[in-house]
Amino acid sequence: MKPMGAIPPDFAGSAPLQIAGRAASAWIEQAGDTPLFVYDAGVVRRRIARFRQAVPEGVDLHYAVKANPFAPLVAAIAPWVDGLDIASKGELELVMAIAGKPASAISFAGPGKRDDELDLAIRAGVTVNLESEGEADRALAIGGRLGVTPRLAVRVNPDIELRGSGLRMGGRPSQFGVDAERAAALVTRLVVAGADWRGFHIFAGSQALDAQAIIETQAATLALAARLADEAGAAPPLVNLGGGFGIPYFPADAALDVEAIGAALAGALAERPAILGETRFAIELGRWLVGECGVYLTRVVDRKVSRGETFLVVDGGLHHQLAASGNFGTVVRRNYPVAVASAAPDVPTETVTVVGCLCTPLDLLADKVTLPVAHPGDVIAIFMAGAYAASASPSAFLGHSPARELLVGLDGQS
Ligand SMILES: *Cc1c(COP(=O)(O)O)cnc(C)c1O
C-alpha cells in the first residue's frame, strides 16, 4: 500500500461523492458521459474571498489563465479578480471575447511572442510584459507602425530564487525576463521612445507551500523593484510581485498559510521605499485559485487481477490528466488524492492500482492505494484537477475523445 494526498476539504467526507451540493453521478448525467472534469466555482470564489481578506489594500489579484483556460470558468473568475494574465494569442482572443474586462486589466507575458501576437495585443491596449530587449524593439516598432502608444512592462529575471518552490525561475540564465542587471537601461529606453511604461513584472517561482519562503521572496522582490526604479530614475505604476502559491497534492504537503503571507506583505508595503510610494502591486495566481476546484471523474471499464495485484482500468488517463500520472514536472511519482465517487459509505476497502486506458505503462493514475472495492461501472474521482490538467495534457495521444468539462456551483449553493 502507498499513501495518497488528502482529499481537498471542499469534497472530503461525502459518500457517494458530492460536488457543489449534487452527486457526482448527477453531473455525469448532465454532461452526458465520463471522462469528465467538474469545476466547482464556489471553491474558487471562496479562495478569492480568502485572498482579499488576507492581503492588504493596494495589492491586486490577477488570474493566470494558462492554469485553466476553460472559457466558462474564465468568464466566472473575470469579475472576481482585478486582472487576467495571458501567455498567447489564443488566450488573448479568449479573454477579449469575455465581456467585462478592459484591455488595461490584461497583461501578456511569455517568451517568443510573435509579431502577430504583439500586433494584436498592442492594438487592443493590453500590457505586454517584455521578455527581452529584442522583444522590446519589435513592440516599439509595431506601436510606431500602428500609431499606437504601446503599454509595456519589463519582466525582470531576478537575481533571487523562490526557495522551496517546485519550479525555479530566478537567479540564473533564463528565457524569461530581462536580467536584473540590464532592466533599468531598458526602462530608460522605453520611456525615451515614448512608450507607456507600466512597471515591472517579477515572477520568481511556482508551487511553493512554504509561506516563509514566499514572504522572503516578496520582500526581496519589493527591494529589487525599488532598486531598479532608482537606477532608472522612474517610479513604476505597477509592480507585479509574481505568485507561486502552491496547493497540497501529496501526503506530506500542508496547505499554504496565506494569512501569514498577507500580514507580512502589509508590513513590507508599509515600509516600502519612497520611489514605490504611488505604485500599485499585483499578485498573479493560477494553481492556488483553481487547482482544488476541479475533480476528474472517470469510469471503471475493467477490473483485473495480475499476479496478485488488483487493477482498475478506467476510461480516462494521462491524455486528460497528465499531472496525476506523475509525468508533468515531477521527479518522483506520488499519488494524487483519489476516491471511488460512486461508493456508499460502508463499502469495504482493498488495495488497488488505478490505470488509464492508454497503451503505455506511464498511464498510472493511482499506485497501490486503499479504496472502497469498485467494479466496472463505478466512477473514480481524481482530485486537484482544476489547474494544469485538461489543457496541459496530450489529449490527441492515442486518439481517444477529449474529456468533457463542466462548470458548476455558480449559483452559490456550494
Ligand atoms: C504560469 C504563470 C503563473 C501561474 O503560476 P501558478 O503556479 O499556476 O500560480 C503566474 N505568472 C506567470 C508569469 C506564469 O508564467
Q: Phi and psi for 295 in degrees, rounded to 5?
A: -125, 125
Tell which residue, 344, 345, 327, has the closest CA to residue 336: 327
User: What pLDDT was estimated at residue 161?
Assistant: 66
Q: Which atom of ligand 1 is nearest to the CA of 289?
A: 9
User: What pLDDT was estimated at residue 170?
Assistant: 56
C-alpha dihedral sign at 173, 179, 181, 185 = positive
Place of cell 516600502: 272
Q: How confident is the model at residue 414 (pLDDT cuts 50, 70, 90)?
A: very low
Mean pLDDT computed over 40-52 = 98
User: 206 C-alpha vs ligand 1 centroid, how far in Å?
Assistant: 7
Q: How confident is the model at residue 168 (pLDDT cuts 50, 70, 90)?
A: low
pLDDT tens digits for 219-247?
999 999 999 999 999 999 999 999 999 99
The neighbouring-strand residues paired with 405 are 37
pTM reported for the whole predicted model: 0.96
Q: Please give the Cα distance from 39 to 32 (Å, whole number).
A: 16
Q: Phi and psi for 157 in degrees, rounded to 5?
A: -85, 100
User: What pLDDT was estimated at residue 329?
Assistant: 83
Residue 47 scores a pLDDT above 90 = yes
Helix 258-270, helix 211-232: angle, nearest 10:
30
CA 295 to chain centre: 15
pLDDT tens digits for 126-152?
999 999 999 999 999 999 999 999 999
User: What pLDDT was estimated at residue 100?
Assistant: 74
Residue 85 scores a pLDDT above 60 = yes
User: 180 C-alpha vs ligand 1 centroid, how far in Å?
Assistant: 19
Q: Which atom of ligand 1 is nearest to the CA of 206?
A: 7
User: 381 C-alpha vs ligand 1 centroid, how far in Å?
Assistant: 26
Q: How confident is the model at residue 165 (pLDDT cuts 50, 70, 90)?
A: low
The neighbouring-strand residues paired with 129 are 153
Contact 95, 76 (CB under 8 A): no
User: What pLDDT was estimated at residue 163?
Assistant: 66
User: What pLDDT was estimated at residue 260?
Assistant: 98
Residue type, 291: G
Q: Phi and psi for 391 in degrees, rounded to 5?
A: -85, -10
DSSP 194-220: T-EEEEEE---EEEE--HHHHHHHHHH
Contact 290, 73 (CB under 8 A): yes
Q: What is the largest CA-CA distance in the chain?
A: 72
Mean pLDDT computed over 374-382 = 98
The neighbouring-strand residues paired with 106 are 84
Residue 92 in 3-state DSSP?
helix
Q: Please give the Cα distance from 264 to 270 (Å, whole number).
A: 10
Residue 174 scores a pLDDT above 80 = yes
255 by Cβ neighbours in 10 Å (0-12 / 13-18 / 19+) ranks as: middle
Residue 300 scores a pLDDT above 80 = yes
User: 413 C-alpha vs ligand 1 centroid, how far in Å?
Assistant: 29
Q: How confident is the model at residue 166 (pLDDT cuts 50, 70, 90)?
A: low
Instruction: For ligand 1, atom 7, name the residue with the nearest CA.
Output: 206
pLDDT tens digits for 252-295?
999 999 999 999 999 999 999 999 999 999 999 999 999 999 99
Q: Please give the Cα distance from 128 to 360 (Å, whole number).
A: 41
In whole angstroms, how large is the CA radius of gyration of the chain? 23
User: 243 C-alpha vs ligand 1 centroid, how far in Å?
Assistant: 7
Instruction: For ligand 1, atom 5, name the residue with the nearest CA.
Output: 286
Q: Please give the Cα distance from 12 to 17 (Å, whole number).
A: 8
User: What pLDDT was estimated at residue 162?
Assistant: 61
Q: How confident is the model at residue 54 (pLDDT cuts 50, 70, 90)?
A: very high
Instruction: For ligand 1, atom 3, name the residue with the nearest CA.
Output: 64
Contact 296, 382 (CB under 8 A): yes
pLDDT over 70 for what percent of the chain?
A: 97
Q: Are strands 205-208 and 165-168 parallel, antiparallel or unpaired?
A: antiparallel
Q: How confident is the model at residue 204 (pLDDT cuts 50, 70, 90)?
A: confident
Average pLDDT, the chain: 95
Tell me what percent of the chain is helix, strand and coil, each rounded to the nearest 5: 35, 25, 40
Instruction: For ligand 1, atom 4, name the residue with the nearest CA.
Output: 286
Q: Which atom of ligand 1 is nearest to the CA of 284?
A: 10
Q: How confident is the model at residue 169 (pLDDT cuts 50, 70, 90)?
A: low
User: 30 C-alpha vs ligand 1 centroid, how far in Å?
Assistant: 32
User: 109 C-alpha vs ligand 1 centroid, how far in Å?
Assistant: 10
Residue 188 scores a pLDDT above 90 = yes
Residue 179 scores a pLDDT above 90 = yes
Cell of 11: 469534497
User: 101 C-alpha vs ligand 1 centroid, how far in Å?
Assistant: 19
Residues with CB under 6 A from ligand 1: 64, 66-67, 85, 109, 203, 206-207, 243, 284-288, 387
User: What pLDDT was estimated at residue 104?
Assistant: 94
13 by Cβ neighbours in 10 Å (0-12 / 13-18 / 19+) ranks as: exposed
Q: Which atom of ligand 1 is nearest to the CA of 110?
A: 15
Mean pLDDT computed over 315-333 = 93
Place of cell 523593484: 225
Residue 366 scores a pLDDT above 80 = yes
User: How distant, in Å, are the alpha carbons of 170, 268, 340, 351, 370 from that of 348?
Assistant: 49, 52, 12, 11, 10
Q: Which atom of ligand 1 is nearest to the CA of 67?
A: 8
Residue 70 scores a pLDDT above 70 = yes
Residue 297 scores a pLDDT above 60 = yes
Q: How confident is the model at residue 388 (pLDDT cuts 50, 70, 90)?
A: very high
